[in-house]
Chain A
């Protein structure tokens, strides 16, 4: 089966700029997650969708981060404006009973 697709793989932006990441989950997976993984740390959940509804966004910095899931399938995560501390890998995952991860987007904010 096809895996979770994410793009882009890498992104370098200046602070205060905006950036968007895209995720296409595994077909049929109702649950989609966005994680932030800072170097040397475990993934931290930013937002969890069930179909196109938000289940948990308690750790999403809503003043600068936003996410949506279009028609319960693809999802985008946006950061506007970016800060230096947003430099991290952003992982998308989808699940039925176990989570499958994409390869992530490495964001560098300079």
Chain B
């Protein structure tokens, strides 16, 4: 089975600064998708950004961007101009061709005013 590893249980960032959350995964497949989900205290998992493995270009969504290194099986999330509303748990997720999702253990992000 695929595994997803998030090695940073907790991170903090000053408001308006930039923070990078790390994620690595293990797979033998060549075709897959990677995601970052945000889970605020309300518990609802919200999709932040998605990356298709066959695309070399890193995905970007406003202040959120990824650094996808396929050979290294690394998929980090960069949050620019951090805002108080960015504080949440962030989960890295892997989706295989069978539409099965595997999640990391999460990184708790604190934004300091």
Residues of chain A having any CB pair with chain B under 8 Å: 31, 33, 40-45, 48, 50, 55-56, 89, 91, 93, 95, 97-104, 106
Contact = CB atoms under 8 A, between A and B. Distances in A.
A98 B95 CA distance: 9
B106 A99 contact: no
Given A41-B105, A43-B91, A93-B45, A98 B100 contact: no
Describe B's contact surface by its main secondary structure.
strand
A28 B45 CA distance: 20
Contacts of B100: 45, 48, 55-56
Contacts of A89: 43
Contacts of A100: 47
Interface of B: 4, 33, 35, 37, 42-47, 50, 91, 93, 95, 98-106
3 tightest Cβ-Cβ pairs between the two chains A and B = A101-B45, A42-B103, A103-B44
B48 to A, nearest CB: 11
Given A48-B99, A55-B98, A55-B99, 15 more contacts: A31-B99, A41-B105, A42-B91, A42-B103, A42-B106, A45-B101, A48-B100, A93-B45, A98-B33, A98-B47, A98-B50, A99-B45, A99-B47, A101-B45, A106-B43
